[in-house]
Amino acid sequence: MRMLVNGLIVLAQDWQTMLILLAVLSMAVGNIAAIAQTNLKRMLAYSAISHMGFMLLGLVSGIVGGDARFALNAYSSSMFYVITYVLTSAGTFGMILLLARGGFESDQIEDFKGLNKRSPWFAAVMMMMMFSMAGIPFFVGFFAKFSVLQAVVASGNLWLAVVAVLFSLIGCFYYLRIVKIMYFDQPTNTTPIHTPLDMKILMSANGLAVALLGIFPQALMSVCAFALLRSL
């Protein structure tokens, strides 16, 4: 951000065009490829590509016509997006580790079938992660997407916001598929889930953070804005 705004602002039109292309391609490839995955880790890897494409939209929106007055709002929205993505991604991979057992890695989507019957609380935590990544109100991922889209619209790139929303709707499919499997499919494994107390506390804190930051996102948004204000 500092390099683009402080060092290359006179070339903004050039690098903005490149970032727009990268953002659209990332959202397209990431979301479309993620739909076809049966392995949860690979699905998350492709979805990470789409999420980083969404984050790039904030970088695109910081400078309008050579004027950097939109930079603080746009770039802080990208920073907010990255933090919320890391939080939800860590929680999702934590759930994969939690369900793993001796000699068996629960990284297939089918491994989450009927999770609600085995552990209602951990199913709820995973549901919060999926809802947040999909951008469902009122979880922190929704406000992350909304803040980026707000910055894109403010910069005058309405068409880019529309494209981002369309690809987000595609992303909703494979995230909500996990929720459907957990709550409406019969479990293939009925073994009770036994986890150490520290793992329970960590996963619960992660899930509650996703939910509470969705209800009170302004505190984290303010921290991101302050960090960017002192950096740019």
For the chain, 232 residues long, give each residue's pLDDT as a single digit of tens.
777 777 777 777 788 888 899 999 999 999 999 998 989 999 999 999 999 999 999 888 877 776 677 778 888 999 999 999 999 999 999 988 888 765 566 778 888 888 888 888 999 999 999 999 999 988 999 999 999 999 999 888 899 999 999 999 999 999 999 999 999 988 877 777 778 888 889 999 999 999 999 999 999 999 998 988 887 6
What pTM did the predictor assign?
A: 0.89
Task: Residue 135: count other Cβ atoms within 10 Å of its Cβ.
Answer: 22
Return the sign of the alpha-carbon dihedral for residues 199, 38, 123, 101: negative
- Domains of the chain: total: 1
**Cβ–Cβ under 8 Å, residues 123 and 183:** yes
Q: Are 220 and 209 in contact (CB under 8 A)?
A: no
Total Cβ atoms within 10 A of residue 93: 15
Residue 99 is predicted with a pLDDT of: 81
Per-residue pLDDT, 141 = 92
DSSP helix/strand/coil, 150: helix
* Closest C-alpha to 192, from 137, 90, 80, 115: 115
Which residue range(s) make up the domain with 111? 2-231
Q: Quick count: other Cβ atoms within 10 Å of Cβ 190?
A: 9
Sign of CA dihedral 213, 214, 218, 223: positive
Q: What is residue 104's predicted lDDT score, i.e. its pLDDT?
A: 63
The enclosing H or E element of 45 equals helix 40-60
Query: How many alpha carbons fall within 13 Å on the CB side of residue 73?
Result: 16
